[in-house]
Structure 1
């Protein structure tokens, strides 16, 4: 029985590869998971043209998203996002500010994924530095200002 099977990925699969990559996996993983889910197809000698077409399409998508990321960086860089929260008398928040709330507040400048935002846990009022990863090579810095809700 074969120890490994060559497949061509049609989508990005975590810890395995990206669309158009040729990878070797266990035959059962390819037969029972990757191929039925449409994440890969069996490697053949004639698939070289398909692989190159997939790589060209991936590069084109990355260039388009890079241009979008540069535009979003210009819109976000240096801005102050103001959020209001319920605060105790000592200035501490009841709960904390979530990255989802920050992403919603940033939606007026650019649409961002909440998991792309990195900020220290916000549990008091004040100003906090934050960054958002817009592209693997591009990130934007901004400030989150938390004020007391009246």
Structure 2
């Protein structure tokens, strides 16, 4: 007929929190074990479609040297570090924002297809058809 008077709602929610914490620790241990024995794909499966689109986006977005830019910004909007003349950068075609190559590549690896600053799509509308055709071709070749 309910909990004894000594158990308050606070104690009950704290108990649930501790149980969930234990489950989280067990999940992390199992995940670490699978990574250790080489079954990472069993825990975190990668879809070939997102991998193919990532490769195509890397090919479409050009890499240039920072010193080649006309009127470049002072720093990268992702890492907030200042650009140096030897840095490899990527300039987006739609919005013309500039980022370090590594910063934008990491963003793309998280299956992001928009500018991290303004959310404009990486692929210009006039190139979307060619992008889709290449994506379908690489997906069909993977089968």
Please state which band the TM-score falls in when normalised by the shorter chain.
under 0.3
TM-score (norm 1): 0.26
Structure number with greater Rg is 2
TM-score (norm 2): 0.27
Q: If each structure's strand is expressed as a fraction of its own residues, which one has the higher value?
A: 1
